[in-house]
Copies of this chain bind each other. A is one copy, B any other.
Amino acid sequence: MSGISDNIERFILSLLSDQDEAIELQRNELAQHFRCAPSQINYVLSTRFTVARGYVIESRRGGNGYIRIVRVPSEMGDLSKIVTVQLSGEIDEASAYGLLEQLLRAEVITARECRLLAATVSENALKPFPARDVLRAGMLRGALTALMLNQEEDAR
């Protein structure tokens, strides 16, 4: 159960979750810890710690090299900005999921709402539609707009 990549992901997340915004690690060291090829670390980073999910990776080569993983403090205060910037045109499934994840972290939506929205905009539900990226953007626009319109009522 749970391959190496998943373990590495969990390990990194556990390091991050302890109130830290960013961590620094060494690729070879981590690879050795998990007994895997160093490039496996890159694989994990590029598939799981993406910008879409709110992470930024910095690194340096050579002596005293490092990999730094920064959790981007999701600046989600302004929903209308998201609507007009990220959702004006099209959005693919991965980016949409990333967006929803950030909204979740910023506590703009709940975990349940996140799952609900994810399901409705999933590639699976939208498969037969050629213009699904446009569609997806429109749907999320609608949802976020609905949120903004009803902020008062939700306050209860």
Interface residues of A (CB under 8 A from B): 1-3, 6, 24, 63-64, 66, 109, 111-113, 115-122, 124-126, 128-129, 131, 134-135, 138-143, 145-147, 149-150, 153-154
Q: Is the CB of A138 within 8 A of B126?
A: yes
Chain B CB within 10 A, most for which of A120, A142, A145:
A120
| CB contact between A140 and one of B115, B120, B154 (< 8 Å): that residue | B120
Q: How many copies does the complex hold?
A: 2
Secondary structure of the A contact surface, majority rule: helix
Smallest CB separation, A51 vs chain B (Å): 13
In this complex, what residue of B is CB-closest to A144? Answer: B119
Contacts of A112 in B (CB 8 A): 113, 147, 150, 154
Smallest CB separation, A69 vs chain B (Å): 15
**Given contacts A139-B125, A142-B125, are A113 and B111 in contact (CB under 8 A)?**
no
The 20 sampled A-B contact pairs (Cβ below 8 Å) are A1-B24, A1-B66, A6-B64, A111-B153, A112-B147, A112-B150, A115-B146, A115-B147, A115-B149, A116-B117, A119-B142, A119-B145, A120-B142, A120-B143, A121-B139, A125-B135, A126-B135, A126-B139, A129-B131, A135-B135
